[in-house]
A = this chain, B = another copy of it.
Amino acid sequence: MARPRKPLLSRDRIVETASALVDAEGLSAVSTRRLAAELGVSGPSLYNHFRTKDEILDAVADAVSAKVDLSMFEEGDARDWRTALHDWAASYRAALADHPNIVPVLAQGPGRRPAGLRVADAVFGAMVRAGWPPAQATYIGALMRYFVTGSALGSFARGFVDDETAYDPADYPHLGQAHLLAEHRQKVDEGAFDTGLRALLDGLAMQYETEAREKRARQDS
């Protein structure tokens, strides 16, 4: 066969197929041979388009980052910083929840992934524009990512086992209902996420007020 006159592969087609495979069967199902088979080519062909398998997975992760809504951070948007942060976090979480198997890659940080960097850039810029000092704006981008990726990676309920015998009351006196969590997992995950997000935003608002008060005091003196 050798070289076809029209390329069989493209970066986009590889990423699409890899994404579908990750979603359907998990990260561990992605081997270069398996992915190539899915694409109708032989394993080494992929290396004409990506340098390593990790680069392919990075591209899959970045495609998820690209789906995160950033419109609330645009200059003209009417939302205040707190609402913007809330809406962004919700969109971020929804994007990860749609593709939970790739979250371990995403959670490591943006690295060189363009969409991941775009997210970091947008939130930092918007927080500075809203009056946060640059150092605090950096912290906010980081801590929000901690929380959102942590929640997507370690889905609380999925992290417990659906097996009553796993939780001996002698060992874990308070976990009597833990095996039920798998049942309610969606409710628990949502409740924990909403509670945590509200707490974070309430707490940040308090710090913002404190800073504003101090700034006014400095100007008055």
Residues of chain A in range 173-202 having any CB-CB distance to chain B below 8 Å: 173-175, 178, 181, 188-189, 191-193, 195-196, 198-202
Q: Assess whether A17 is interfacial by the CB under 8 Å rule.
A: no
Asked if A117 and B198 sit within 8 Å, CB to CB, the answer is: no
Q: Assess whether A166 is interfacial by the CB under 8 Å rule.
A: yes
On chain B, the residues within 8 Å of A175 by CB distance are 117, 120-121, 124
From known contacts A160-B110, A166-B112, A174-B124, infer whether A146 and B196 are also in contact, taking CB-CB under 8 Å. yes
Per the bound structure, the CA–CA distance linking A109 and B154 in Å amounts to: 5
Number of copies: 2
Q: Assess whether A114 is interfacial by the CB under 8 Å rule.
A: yes
Q: Mark A107-145, 1 if CB is under 8 A from B, else 0.
A: 111111010011011101100100000011011111101
Most buried by B among A145, A171, A189: A145
Query: Could you tell me the distance in whole angstroms from the C-beta of A150 to the nearest C-beta in chain B?
Result: 3
Q: Assess whether A14 is interfacial by the CB under 8 Å rule.
A: no
Chain A: interface size category? 35 or more
Asked if A188 and B109 sit within 8 Å, CB to CB, the answer is: no
Asked if B192 and A203 sit within 8 Å, CB to CB, the answer is: no
Q: Which residue of B lies closest to A167 (CB)?
A: B117
Asked if B207 and A203 sit within 8 Å, CB to CB, the answer is: no
Per the bound structure, the CA–CA distance linking A88 and B189 in Å amounts to: 21
Q: Assess whether A204 is interfacial by the CB under 8 Å rule.
A: yes
Asked if A150 and B158 sit within 8 Å, CB to CB, the answer is: no
Per the bound structure, the CA–CA distance linking A109 and B188 in Å amounts to: 14
A-B contact pairs, 21 of them (CB 8 A): A107-B107, A107-B153, A112-B166, A117-B167, A120-B178, A121-B174, A122-B174, A138-B156, A138-B191, A139-B188, A142-B151, A142-B196, A143-B195, A146-B146, A146-B150, A146-B151, A146-B192, A149-B154, A199-B204, A201-B203, A202-B203
A146-B150, A147-B196 known; 4 other A-B pairs, CB under 8 Å?
Answer: A117-B172, A139-B195, A143-B151, A195-B207
